[in-house]
Amino acid sequence: MKDTLHYDSIMTGLNEALAHSRGELPDVRRKKVSISPLPDYASDRIKAIRNSLNLSQHIFAEALGVSIKTVEAWESGRNKPQGPALRILQVLEADSNFLEKHRIICV
């Protein structure tokens, strides 16, 4: 019974998608989403972000959910942040109060 409900729901969604693509559902709302490319952060820029937040490498690492060795490697240029870490750095660079506003750190 449970599998039938999932199957029916999936089939309904697929049929609606096909009808929409054929123009048979003109009242369907659409939203175009664009995502900015991931920024590139050099070691000195990462260190500048951390320093602008007045955080030690240890606290910065904990706030980002990475090891202190990872932060050390980023800041020395041995490694580069990837994926989610790049987005977090982008957010922190744009909003220096982000960690406090979202109670990730309490000062």
Contact (Cβ atoms closer than 8 angstroms) between residue 101 and residue 107: no
Alpha-carbon gap, residue 45 to 86, rounded angstroms: 12
Alpha-carbon gap, residue 41 to 6, rounded angstroms: 44
Domain ranges within the chain, ordered by starting residue: 43-101
Is residue 45 scored above 80 in pLDDT? yes
Distances (CA, A) of 44 to 60, 73, 97: 15, 12, 21
pTM to 2 decimal places: 0.73
pLDDT at 103: 95
Alpha-carbon gap, residue 94 to 88, rounded angstroms: 10
pLDDT at 2: 59
pLDDT at 1: 54
Structure tokens, 84: 């989610």
Residues 49-90: tens digit of each pLDDT:
999 999 999 999 999 999 999 999 999 999 999 999 999 999
At the fourth CATH level, the homologous superfamily of domain 43-101 is: lambda repressor-like DNA-binding domains (1.10.260.40)
